[in-house]
């Protein structure tokens, strides 16, 4: 084929796989509404007593394994707690957006507005012994894993009160169970596999969730990690947040197989409605049971969406339409979905939810003010926290 013909053929193919501009690219057959679960029994009086909820059967798709039982036990307090956390996380990210526009945050800033159900829902299934490692869209995970809103915002602003004393930025935020915040696309996946290796080596009954994006899924080091994890049956859940885009490129244009949960070859996989927090929670519980019982790794795909651009420097509307974003917001927003569960199931009333919204705003406003008051690091501290001095203590804390 001549060069011209081949170029034309490639262009035709490229156009054929381009997502329709008129609507969101749907993941075949997976239910992505945020509010289609329903209680299987009447709700108890007590806030702490659990009751059963049925998830729609098509909240999950599986590969080389059975889907989890689409039933979950949750309490009224548990639902309200998750609502509070999701609202807090959205407010925190919105505050970061505003601080960036005020030039109080400089450099890169990647927000997870739209994806809150994943960090908040997963956390509910985890214990402090479990480990999490993510890419750069990490602020909400850092708070869920023991960080603070003030610590994240101050870190983004480069202040001493930041979780890395203002010297790391969003891609260098850690807690004892959260291993960052990593800027090199995909690089956290082999590191997460190594953490899971240590968990297995030390006989810990815990799991590592290694998060990465749909774009990162095409990285060679991700497949190398899959291979070693399956060879050694490590307790790692490769957790792909499929928000449909890697920077300005849709998953359809970047990946030969967009069913990310099937990409582990011998590793079983699960695709999950990442907009219904109850589906996320159920999937994370199931994945934890699977890995801790010694069955080896899993590849989990959370189907989600980011409302904003890739980072603050991307308006996010040149490679997708405003209607597409609006359609997801109005149909699948995770916070609106949980709000509807709480109100329709009679967990609490509208006024209580408004009070939670108000207190979440106040908590974040307060954190912003405190972070602003914190000074920048001293010049002398620029040379600390770089190497471990002397003989490092090699006892692991995984």
Ligand X SMILES: Cc1ncc(C[n+]2csc(CCOP(=O)(O)OP(=O)(O)O)c2C)c(N)n1
Say how far apart CA 78 and CA 345 lie, in whole Å: 14
Q: In this structure, are residues 206 and 129 in contact, taking their beta carbons and an 8 Å threshold?
A: yes
Say how far apart CA 398 and CA 396 lie, in whole Å: 6
**Contacting residue, 185, 364, 368, 371, with ligand X by CB under 6 A:** 185
Binding partner of 216, given ligand X, Mg ion, none, CB within 5-8 angstroms per partner class: ligand X
Binding partner of 301, given ligand X, Mg ion, none, CB within 5-8 angstroms per partner class: none
Q: In this structure, are residues 297 and 264 in contact, taking their beta carbons and an 8 Å threshold?
A: yes
Q: Closest approach of Cβ 213 to Mg ion, in Å? A: 4
Please report, as residue ranges, which positions from 199 to 238 form the binding site for ligand X (by CB under 6 A): 212-216
Q: Closest approach of Cβ 365 to ligand X, in Å? A: 27
Contacts of 342 (CB under 8 A, 6+ apart): 79, 80, 83, 348, 353
Number of residues that bind ligand X (CB under 6 A): 15
Say how far apart CA 174 and CA 168 lie, in whole Å: 10
Binding partner of 113, given ligand X, Mg ion, none, CB within 5-8 angstroms per partner class: none
What DSSP assignment string belongs to 327-360?
Answer: HHHHHH-HHHHHHHHHHHTTSS-HHHHHHHHHHH
Residue 273 phi/psi, 5-degree rounding, is: -70, 105
Burial zone of 372 (CB within 10 Å; 0-12 exposed, 13-18 middle, 19+ buried) = middle
Q: Which residue, judged by CB position, is nearest to Mg ion in the bound state?
A: 213
**Contacting residue, 137, 139, 145, 230, with ligand X by CB under 6 A:** 137
Structure tokens that stand for 15 in this block: 């156009």
Q: Closest approach of Cβ 12 to ligand X, in Å? A: 25
Asked if residue 116 binds ligand X (CB under 6 A), the reply is no
Asked if residue 47 binds ligand X (CB under 6 A), the reply is no
- Residues engaged in binding Mg ion (CB under 5 A): 213-215, 243, 246
Largest CA distance in the chain: 74
Q: In this structure, are residues 298 and 237 in contact, taking their beta carbons and an 8 Å threshold?
A: yes
For ligand X, give the closer residue by CB, 193 or 285: 193
| Bridge partners of residue 299, in order along the sequence | 238, 269
Q: Closest approach of Cβ 191 to ligand X, in Å? A: 14
For Mg ion, give the closer residue by CB, 120 or 216: 216
Asked if residue 247 binds ligand X (CB under 6 A), the reply is yes
For ligand X, give the closer residue by CB, 50 or 249: 249
Asked if residue 184 binds ligand X (CB under 6 A), the reply is yes
For ligand X, give the closer residue by CB, 105 or 135: 135
Q: Closest approach of Cβ 340 to ligand X, in Å? A: 27
Closest CA to 183 of 138, 223, 152, 149: 138
Closest CA to 367 of 92, 83, 85, 87: 92
Asked if residue 299 binds ligand X (CB under 6 A), the reply is no
For Mg ion, give the closer residue by CB, 63 or 305: 305
**Contacting residue, 190, 192, 235, 246, with ligand X by CB under 6 A:** 246
Residue ranges that bind ligand X, judged by CB under 6 A: 135, 137, 183-185, 212-216, 243, 245-247, 310
């Amino acid at each position: 084929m001549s060069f011209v013909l081949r170029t034309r053929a490639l262009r035709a193919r490229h156009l054929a796989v381009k997502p329709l501009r008129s609507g969101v690219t749907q993941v075949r057959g997976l239910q992505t509404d945020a509010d289609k679960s329903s209680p299987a029994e009447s709700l108890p009086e007590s806030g702490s007593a659990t009751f059963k909820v049925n998830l729609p059967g098509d909240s999950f798709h599986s590969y080389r394994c059975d889907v989890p039982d689409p039933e979950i036990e949750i309490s009224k307090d548990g639902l309200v707690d998750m609502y509070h956390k999701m609202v807090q996380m959205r407010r925190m990210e919105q505050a970061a957006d505003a601080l960036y526009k005020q030039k109080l945050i400089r450099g890169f800033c990647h927000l997870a507005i739209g994806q809150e159900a994943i960090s908040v829902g997963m956390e509910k299934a985890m214990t402090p012994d479990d480990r999490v490692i993510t890419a750069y869209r990490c602020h909400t995970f850092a708070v869920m894993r023991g960080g603070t809103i003030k610590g994240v915002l101050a870190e983004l602003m480069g202040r001493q009160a930041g979780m890395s004393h203002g010297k790391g930025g969003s891609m260098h935020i850690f807690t004892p169970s959260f291993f960052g915040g990593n800027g090199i696309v995909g690089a956290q996946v082999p590191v997460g596999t190594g953490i899971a290796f240590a968990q297995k080596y030390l006989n810990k009954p815990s799991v590592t969730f290694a998060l990465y994006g749909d774009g990162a899924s095409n990285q060679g080091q991700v497949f190398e990690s899959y291979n070693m994890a399956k060879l050694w049956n490590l307790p790692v859940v490769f957790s792909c947040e499929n928000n449909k885009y890697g920077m300005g490129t849709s998953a359809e244009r970047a990946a030969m197989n967009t069913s990310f949960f099937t990409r582990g070859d011998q590793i079983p996989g699960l695709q999950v409605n990442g907009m219904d927090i109850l589906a996320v929670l159920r999937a994370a519980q199931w994945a934890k049971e699977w890995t801790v019982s010694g069955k080896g790794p899993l590849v989990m795909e959370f189907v989600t969406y980011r409302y904003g651009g890739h980072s603050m420097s991307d308006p996010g509307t040149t490679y997708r339409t405003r209607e597409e974003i609006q359609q997801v917001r109005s149909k699948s927003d995770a916070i609106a979905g949980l709000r509807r569960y709480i109100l329709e199931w009679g967990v609490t009333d509208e006024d209580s939810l408004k009070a939670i919204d108000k207190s979440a705003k106040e908590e974040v406003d307060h954190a912003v003010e405190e972070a602003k008051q914190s000074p920048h690091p001293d010049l002398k501290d620029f040379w600390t926290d770089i190497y471990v001095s002397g003989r490092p203590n090699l006892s692991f804390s995984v």
